[in-house]
Amino acid sequence: MTRTRAHAQGPSPRAVRVVFTLTGLYFGWRWAADGHGPAWLHALQVLVTMLLAMALVQSIQWWRTRRGKHEGPMARLPWRNLILFKLLLVALALAAEELLHHWMPPTHAQLIVGTCLGAAIATGGPVLHRRHNSPTRTTPPTTTSATPP
């Protein structure tokens, strides 16, 4: 397999796992370590950072495609789904932290939720990445059929 052929297929599964593991470590650390102030404000900061990172990835992909350096399968990200998944993940983390505050000190709750958030990103990210970039992925038709039902 030539280098251009391998490059056109996108990143290797190992590279995807490494990137999502590092991303999970970062966001888990952010949640566990940056807990100064109200929990909702912290959750908003993590969500905004996630969305900015997603926009940065899309911008880099656009730039590489325009320069002819990237022909991978991720030409477009499913923005709506990604935003909904990130919003759901942060909302669940916020709810879990608020629930844990009833039984333990806030620092312990933040550490547990940060660890779970990092693990969810590290394990769920590659699965969703594979699902989005699957060659057998079916997309809904953009036009209607001319034949009657």
4 close to 102: Cβ distance less than 8 angstroms = no
Q: Domain range holding 27?
A: 3-131
Query: Mean pLDDT across the chain, nearest whole number?
Result: 76
Residue 123 inside a domain? The answer is yes
144 inside domain? no
| Structural domain contains residue 41 | yes
* Mean pLDDT along residues 19-31: 87
Asked if residue 85 belongs to a domain, the reply is yes
Task: Locate 54 and state its tokens.
Answer: 């997603």
In a domain, 71, yes or no: yes
Instruction: Flag whether 147 is in a domain.
Output: no
Cα–Cα distances (Å) from 33 to 41, 45, 61, 115, in that order, read 14, 13, 31, 11
Residue 129 pLDDT greater than 70, yes or no: yes
Rounded to an integer, the average pLDDT of 43-69 is 80
- Which tops the pLDDT comparison, 88 or 77? 88
Q: What is the mean pLDDT of residues 83-100?
A: 88
The total number of residues written for the chain in this structure: 149
Is there a domain that residue 140 lies in? Answer: no
Q: Indicate if the pLDDT at residue 141 is higher than 50.
A: no
Share of the chain above pLDDT 90, in %: 8
- Whether residue 75 is contained in a domain is answered as yes
Q: How many domains does the chain have?
A: 1
Give the pLDDT score at 112.
92
User: At residue 126, does pLDDT exceed 60?
Assistant: yes
Whether residue 23 has pLDDT greater than 50: yes
Terminal-residue alpha carbon distance, the chain: 46
